[in-house]
Amino acid sequence: MPTKDPRVDAYIAEAADFARPILTHLRKIIHQGCPEIVETIKWGSPFFDYKGLLCGLAAFKAHCSLFFWRDIDVTQWLEKTNGAGAGMGQFGKIASKADLPKDAVLLACVRAAVEQRNSPASKPKRERKPGKELAVPEDLKKALSKNTKASTTFKNFAPSHRREYIMWITDAKRPETREKRLQTTLEWLSEGKTQNWRYMEKR
């Protein structure tokens, strides 16, 4: 019998109208791909555990996300099908069920993740490539120059972590949104946090 958590039911029920069918569908696929999966809530979002965290879901104002845990690699299964997720951080921003790969692809990813948990040695090895450096926008440079702690954290981060903050700030559509993200960036950097700290295991 699948192990479901009523807190996940509540999370889906409280999500925006567009998000509920997406989350419900992904939850069904995850259970179908791994009948032994155990649901839980971590850092405010649904996670699915099988011999360790396997994957998680999250709903935002205008999109949802599906992400496999950081030691799970499903890239080659996505690339073998329709290239979904390439360059988008696995599955990208999911605003509707139409943004998802086919169910067969999702199931293949879940089952591949389970296989990696069952046989760690079978996990495909990926060659690590150095992260591409992005130019630091002027407003971020100015803000960092006034906050030594945040500046030090930013400089010591790997290029990939710096890139996440830069892209998050520059992706803002409105000036007020950009300013808010800039202030949040300083706050999180001062605490030594990466931009996606909410989805990472606490250390």
- What pLDDT is recorded for position 92? 79
pTM for this prediction: 0.57
Question: 86: Cβ–Cβ under 8 A, 6 or more apart, which residues?
Answer: 78, 79
Q: Which domains does the chain have, with CATH numbers?
A: 6-122 (3.90.1150.200), 138-199 (no CATH)
Q: How far apart are CA 203 and CA 67, in angstroms?
A: 19
Q: Which strands, in side-by-side order, build the sheet including 45-49?
A: 38-42, 45-49, 53-59, 64-68
Amino acid at 6: P
How many residues are there in the chain?
203
Beta-sheet pairing, 38-42 with 53-59? unpaired
Q: Block means of pLDDT (10 residues each) for the chain, length 203 residues?
A: 83 95 96 94 92 92 89 69 41 87 91 88 51 82 93 89 89 89 93 78 41
CB 54 within 8 A of CB 31: no
Distance of CA 7 to the CA centre of its chain: 20
- What pLDDT is recorded for position 132? 60
Name which of 203, 201, 199, 202 is nearest 44 in CA terms.
199
Structure tokens at 182: 């800039």
Three-class secondary structure assignment of 31-45: HHHCCCCEEEEECCE
- What pLDDT is recorded for position 158? 85
